[in-house]
Amino acid sequence: LTVEANVGLGRSPSLKLGDGDRAAVAEALARVGLAGKEKRLPRELSGGERQRVALARVLLRDRPVLLLDEPFASLGPALREDMLDLLAGIHAERKMTVLFVTHQPEDARRIGQDVAFLDEGRIAATGPADDFFDQSGPDAFRRYIGDRGGTVAGSQHIARKRT
């Protein structure tokens, strides 16, 4: 499917799109920085562009929960910041719950109100995001970010924004 059709799936799985639907697709693509790439195929896109196609598709859906697994892993720092801003804006506009999995502590800090820290596939700590980043934060998390020595292999953060 083209980028435009792939995003259109968020509005209609049968891809029977009216003028309003096509306008919404164009707006979603513009919001994620992909305007002008509507006719491209997935093989013609970078990994980061493919991730943004998926995010544009989400913009068209009206669901109470948004689940994201490493959505910005392939993005450079500036575009990552832009997409985090976009995600925060989507959350504010729609008042949806966002469950965001990341290996980037700063993403969890920026997006999450609550954090669950996974260590080797198990929840090692949960709580308000701000608590994780102060000196009394959970030991496993502090080790992961390089504080209190050592690192923890196989760790992830799950940041959640409440509605």
Q: What is the pLDDT of residues 8-67, one digit of tens each?
A: 998 988 999 999 999 999 999 999 899 999 999 989 998 888 888 988 998 888 788 989
104-146, pLDDT tens digit by residue?
Answer: 888 888 888 899 999 888 999 999 988 888 877 888 888 888 8
Evaluated on CA atoms 91, 92, 96, 99, the torsion sign reads positive
Considering the entire predicted model, what is its pTM? 0.72
Nearest Cα neighbor of 87 from 49, 52, 129 is 52
Q: What's the maximum distance between 2 C-alpha atoms anywhere in the chain?
A: 57
* CATH class, 63-163 region: alpha beta
Angle at alpha carbon of residue 106, lines to 103 and 110, rounded to 5°: 120
Amino acid letter at 144? Y
Rounded Cα–Cα distance for residues 89 and 98 (Å): 12
